[in-house]
Amino acid sequence: MTNTSTEARSANTGKIYFIGSGPGNPDLITVKGANLLAQAEVIITDRLAGDEIIGRYANPDAIIIDVGKQGGNEKSYKQSDINKLLIQFAKLYEKVVRLKGGDIAFFSNVYDELQTLADHNIAYEIVPGITAASGASAFTGVPLTARGFASGVKLLTHFNNSIINKESWKQLAAFKETLVFYMSSNNLASIIEQLIKAGADTSIPFLVIEQATTPNQRVHAFTLQSFPAEPIQFNSPSIVIMGKVAGLHETFAWYKNNSVAGENYFRSVEAASAYLKINPFITRPVEGAQKITENVD
């Protein structure tokens, strides 16, 4: 790969392309997202973008930097460090891709990154992707707003009880709408407790979908009443579809459920990968970036 000399450019001439890679299945990335990956000089990727997507679509000469991002894992990189990385590479390259799982707009913490670029006058573009709710809905045969079952859908997250107030729990517990909980499978006992306290019908069904749309997708079906008291550890990422529509899964499921528990499609932040790590670029900002580019040429 021939790199444009950094001396020949003014500061901040590069552009950051935020790409939603979809829920994991490499066939579900957009055409535009795939085309930009093929042109990228640098790809800064979250683990939930999926290694297979990079292997299939990325420019083979691109610098690929793994920034991890695994909720609740102390080895995940700080958002502030990722923000610094975006600034550094925008000064060095013209086409930098920030690759995130799902869609950029849904629970991706993109706000901090966009604000960083705006503060530093760095150009950017946002390319949407299929969010986990849409992917899980399609691959479980559950139409989220099926007529007669739900008048709408709410996309939520719940990691402590202060997130949703008492009045809101009452509205959710009526189940006029389908509830989709992101990043909340480890807090299901608390969610169910709050819904029942707020008057929910305990026969309401729900699904927990592990690693939706991937070969390792597993679907677990419960009702509010039948969910076991003993904690269950679901594989990350997992998404919860809760409401009357969840009962349609048994009728309309078309994608084969993975029969082997515990298999992971997405690596954890501890797992080794062929990608460069963020650390050298943060501790030795521009020098670290330039050293890597010299090795890539």
Catalytic residue flag (residue 69)? yes
Q: Which residues contact 115 (CB under 8 A, 6 or more apart)?
A: none
Q: Do β-strands 15-20 and 95-100 pair in parallel, antiparallel, or remain unpaired?
A: parallel
Q: Which residues pair with 95 in a beta bridge?
A: 15
DSSP collapsed to 3 states, 131-168: CHHHHHHHHHCCCCCCCCCCCCEEEEECCCCCCCCHHH
Catalytic residue flag (residue 15)? no
Tokens of residue 291, six digits: 């050293």
CA distance 237 to 60: 27
Contact present, 54 and 22 (Cβ < 8 Å): no
With CA atoms as reference, report the closest residue to 183 among 272, 69, 264: 69
CA distance 292 to 297: 9
Tokens of residue 196, six digits: 């029942």
Q: Do β-strands 95-100 and 42-45 pair in parallel, antiparallel, or remain unpaired?
A: parallel
Catalytic member of 51, 69, 91, 103? 69
CA distance 34 to 1: 19
Catalytic member of 46, 51, 66, 103? 46
Q: Which residues pair with 205 in a beta bridge?
A: 223
CA distance 106 to 136: 14
Residues assigned a catalytic role: 46, 69
